[in-house]
Amino acid sequence: MFDIECPDVREVVLRALEEDIGDGDITSQLTVPEDLKARGTFLAKQALVLAGVELLPLVYATRGGASVNILHGSGTKLEKGAPIATVEGRATTLLECERVALNFMQRLSGVATLGRKHVDEVAGTKVKVLDTRKTTPGLRRLEKMAAAAGGVTNHRFGLFDAVLIKNNHITAAGGVRQALEKAKRFDGPVEIEVRTRTELDEALACGATRLLLDNLTPEQAAEWVAYIGGRASTELSGNINLGNIKSYAQAGPDFISCGAITHSATAVDISFRLELDDL
């Protein structure tokens, strides 16, 4: 699920290690014998959906190597106290990599955990929950991997892999019809946002196959979805959260996109415990 061979992933891990370690972990160098061996265990300090654990071998390999044993993969639901992974090697290596390893797993597991909560809320409906481009700059690929680990369906990755005609595009293009006509040059998925019934009718008349309905109430969404009647697939977005996503799902759309999954996820609590005994 987490592709550590992906250049984007490797680059962000290397950048994070450089940011934290720089010229060296001064504290460990001064206080810990260079040849001292140790083991460490990553532990879930709360219930969570795990994500990013597959980055651990890359983190440690970058700093001279260590033996990593991953006990649970991304997407696994863990209870408080569950061990996540163990690592053995030079104590100085384990200590200098500790914070970067935790930062990635805590942040990404936070995204996966929040994503799973949204997915669970719409269980029993046909709705697929989508993530958005509202991600931490530089961490989009990892955060979308984390969202997928939580059961969320990835929306477009960026501005380059799908067409999503929003209200400002419609304004700049001169209208719904003009925007859709120009978008026909793209050989891939095309979605358009409609704000009024007039725009909706125009989009359907132009052959739109996927419609974005933004900032509607659940009641309005149900009316619009019923009116569309399967002539195009529908996505709801705008002010949707854990407290109301079920009501929106019951309106009958095909998709619900929720930016909070990435932009408002809280890091989960994971700890690292170092041990020296029996090595």
Give the other-Cβ count within 10 Å of 116's Cβ.
Answer: 22
Q: Phi and psi (nearest 5°) for 224?
A: -65, -45
**Annotated catalytic residue, options 214, 223, 254, 269:** 214
99 in catalytic set: yes
Distances (CA, A) of 153 to 47, 56, 119, 220, 256: 22, 24, 10, 24, 10
Q: Is 264 helix (H, G, I), strand (E, B) or coil?
A: coil
**Annotated catalytic residue, options 77, 166, 177, 182:** 166
128 in catalytic set: no
**Annotated catalytic residue, options 193, 199, 202, 235:** 193
193 in catalytic set: yes
d(CA 160, CA 154): 15
Torsion of CA 68, 69, 71, 72, to 10 degrees: 40
231 in catalytic set: no
214 in catalytic set: yes
Buried b (16+ CB within 10 A) or exposed e, 224-241: bbeebeeebebbbbeebe
d(CA 261, CA 58): 26
Type of residue at 222: A
d(CA 152, CA 65): 33
Catalytic residue ranges:
99, 134, 166, 193, 214
